[in-house]
Amino acid sequence: MRSGCRGQSVVIWWVLGALACALVALVVYDLTQRRRAILRNFPVLGHLRYLLEGVGPELRQYIMTSNDEEKPFSRDERRWIYASAKGETNTFGFGTDNSMERIPGYIVIRQSAFPLDPLPGEPTEPDPGFNVPCAKVLGAAHRRTGAFRAESMVNVSAMSFGSLSGRAIEAIDTGAAMAGCLHNTGEGGVSPHHLHGADLVMQVGTGYFGCRDDAGRFSMDRLVESVASGPVKALEIKLSQGAKPGLGGLLPGAKVTPTIAAARRIPVGVDCKSPSAHSEFHDVGSLIDFVERLADRTGLPVGIKSAVGDVGFFGELANAMASSGGGPDFVTVDGGEGGTGAAPLVFADHVSMPFLQAFPAVYRQFCEAGIADDVVFIGSARLGLPHRAMAAMALGCDMLNVAREAMLAVGCIQAQRCHTGNCPTGVATQRPSRERGLVVSDKAPRVARYLAALRQELLRLARACGQPHPAWVSADQVAVLAASETLVDLGEFCGYEAPEWGLPGGQQRAELQRCWAPMS
């Protein structure tokens, strides 16, 4: 009897030993694998997330939210981004699960009875090497020395090193380079993490980080040094952003590492504050003067980025540009639904106009001033999804900037912990213990594949509308479900009174034909 008990004990200890060895092996595997940041940062426990994700569709049928209820990005939207980034199948089965006829603002693309076939030699799968250029040339109208046509109509929006980790910036920059996209530095200046191949748009914010003197004032000489430090192709003056317009920002001193301090030209370990307004200009006239000073000294195209509140400002700007012949070469319009690391709830929810109202309000001012064809219009604010991107193009955008979608492609899981420094995937943090989970060599191709997938979907939508390029899709080829549950043309929904508003001009069409050889 005793020998039997001893035998059972031995078996139990062998089983426990085997389980312990398996657990140790799993921990070692999780810590050393390079594909999933969650598992590198949370070995063993991280597998629970993927288990729940796998049975999610079944659970959601009964006790959880639907595929389209989560915000700011629904489960379906995240799934499309993740699958596209990983090179997996990004198609959905069994039809839509949206209540198409009951969602005010629902976007419907009006396909043509005579759609176009793909171009000869166009890849059937998303290919980062196959690009779709911008229809306009940045800086051409003002004859900037460094005027250029963006190779890609989809580019990466402003996200600073400091708000994102160094590895996240490296992965995004490398992926943008693979996809031939521009990478906006954000207001944190040009850092070593931005120097991995992508052409840059350097953002000039209210704190003048990367272009300030020791007293914190704007320095033209420091700006020129920053431009020379990397492949900077354009400058963007940030007036405001959609998630917290009218506010400055704060990077706590604990996050100000030596690398961040060097890029921003600030002391290490000291709170880094961004004022609410610029000190170099105070009205439309001095803003135009500042733009021209930057362009004259650097030769680069110079633009502005702004959320939209006071529409009258844009009307005054457009009229002043028409009379003076100077001013911004591009205008980036950020919608109120844009993202940020942290913002007061009331500013995130209630300050500045949503994109579908904001962009038309701005574009209309430049149309009425007769200079819409001289300015490159860039849209941002959750436009990294094909249907919203197509609507933005139909309204008159020439290029699109994506930010949070690029974060999702690089590994973000929408944990919404950006403001805490405890991002579980190492994307929005400066904690080395979290950042180590993000492997640049794995994430950079995902960014490139996502950007390529978005461009391909835009091409498919344009061809379905009978147009060879997204820039030629007009506002009457997109409809929106109004509150009365009736479909109205996008142009009517957004208040475009003249038929040419939202349509590409003659110069734009001619430039597009010259730049994209397969269409000539």
SS3 annotation, 150-218: CCCCEEECCCCECCECHHHHHHHHHHHHHCCCEEECCCCCCCHHHCCCCEEEEEECCCCCCCECCCCCE
Q: Look at residue 55 in the predicted model and tell me its pLDDT.
A: 58
Cβ contact 236:201 at 8 Å: yes
Q: Tell me how crowded residue 507 is: count the other CB atoms within 10 A of its CB.
A: 15
Q: Report the amino acid identity of residue 148.
A: F
- The structure tokens listed for 462 are 């344009």
- The pLDDT value recorded for residue 318 is 97
- The residue behind tokens 């030769």 is 299
Q: What is the pLDDT of residue 502?
A: 45
Contact 405, 81 (CB under 8 A): yes
Label residue 107 left, alpha or beta by phi (over 0 means left) and psi (-120 to 50 means alpha): beta
- The confidence score (pLDDT) of residue 393 equals 94
The token pair that represents 365 in the structure block: 């001012």
pLDDT at residue 520, as a whole number: 39
- pLDDT by residue for the chain (520 residues), tens only, comes to 555 666 677 778 787 777 888 777 777 777 778 777 777 777 877 777 666 666 565 455 445 556 666 677 788 888 889 899 999 888 877 777 677 777 778 899 999 999 999 888 888 889 999 999 998 999 999 999 999 999 999 999 999 888 889 999 999 999 999 999 999 999 889 999 999 999 999 999 999 999 999 888 999 999 999 999 999 999 999 998 756 666 667 777 777 888 888 888 888 888 878 888 899 999 999 999 999 999 999 999 999 999 999 999 999 999 999 999 999 999 999 988 776 666 677 777 777 789 999 999 999 999 889 999 899 999 998 999 999 999 999 999 999 999 999 999 998 888 887 777 788 888 888 888 888 888 899 999 999 999 999 999 999 999 999 998 998 898 889 998 887 678 888 888 887 765 454 444 555 656 666 666 554 3
Closest CA to 388 of 448, 343, 329, 338: 338
> In sequence order, what are the residues at sequence separation of 6 or more whose Cβ sits closer than 8 angstroms to the Cβ of residue 152?
131, 132, 133, 134, 179, 180, 181, 182, 451, 455
Residue ranges and CATH numbers for the domains of the chain are: 27-63 (no CATH), 154-244+277-519 (3.20.20.70)
Q: Which two tokens stand for residue 162?
A: 């400091």
- Asked if 322 and 280 touch (Cβ cutoff 8 Å), the reply is no
What count of other Cβ atoms lies within 10 Å of the Cβ of residue 33? 13
Q: How far is CA 92 from CA 67, 76, 95, in A?
A: 12, 9, 7
* pTM of the predicted protein model: 0.86
